[in-house]
Amino acid sequence: MNDIKGVTTADIARVFFGIDLKHGKQYCPLPGHTGKSASFNYNSTKDLWFCHSEKIGGDGLEFYRWMTGKGMGSCFADIKDRFGLDDSSLEQKGYYTKEPEMNLYIKFCEQVMQLAAENLTGKNHILNFAFEKWGFTKEILQKYSVGYMDYSLYSKLESLFGTAKLEEFGFIGNTKTGGKWKVFQDRVIFPYFNWSRRPIYFIGREVK
Ligand SMILES: [Zn+2]
């Protein structure tokens, strides 16, 4: 169910963006999406959507937020105005309890973030690189939960989640010759957060 009573994700898609959202799989309409497969799924019964490529999803409010990039307060206000709702129609809840697949992915990201941050501790050559080359401080590393991925952490994640999940979540990739590669191995990783400050993906940087 949508957090905005009486207004569905499909209503928001149509009224604000002229998009005809259908039940089931389709191309992803989100502006940040780059893939070309039908990775976007809309469940009109539950009124929830999910993009399997971007690993993001939610309800109508979240859809509007990803479409516009606005803050939550503005999103509430825009929808309220356009649909002529009063304050009692708006109810903010936790979003990431609704989609089990997304829950697992976010749990995975949180675990990676925590373990990778611990893994950076004491790795002085990498810390020095971050301080000198990137101008980071200890406070920045901590504030943004920056971490480090290496072989041992990959092994740990494989034992916790299984190789198949690591592949599904984009931590293990396929080479053109049919091999596998560890996408973030020996890289400093930076988590990206959603609006409720939960990590939803990572950027990796080589340290050399
Ligand atoms: Zn997408």
CA of 33 from ligand 1 middle (Å) equals 5
Spatial CA neighbour of 59 closest among 44, 73, 77: 44
Torsion sign, CA atoms 83, 87, 89, 93: positive
Domain boundary among 89, 115, 141: 89
Q: Give the range of the structural domain holding residue 49, as residue numbers without chain letter.
A: 9-89
Same domain, 148 and 174: yes
Same domain, 84 and 126: no
SS3 191: strand
Q: Is residue 96 predicted with pLDDT exceeding 60?
A: no
Lowest-confidence segment of 14-23, 115-124, 189-198 by average pLDDT: 189-198
pTM of the predicted structure, to 2 decimals: 0.55
CA of 30 from ligand 1 middle (Å) equals 6
pLDDT, tens digit, 9 for 90 and up, residues 128-178? 999 999 899 999 999 889 999 999 999 999 999 999 999 988 899 888 898
CA of 42 from ligand 1 middle (Å) equals 12
CA of 35 from ligand 1 middle (Å) equals 7
Same domain, 120 and 27: no
* Residue 4 domain-assigned (yes or no): no
CA of 48 from ligand 1 middle (Å) equals 14
Same domain, 153 and 66: no
CA of 68 from ligand 1 middle (Å) equals 14
Q: Please count the structural domains in the chain.
A: 2
Same domain, 202 and 105: yes
Same domain, 76 and 137: no
Q: HSE, CB side, 13 Å, CA atoms: give it for residue 69.
A: 3
Same domain, 14 and 85: yes
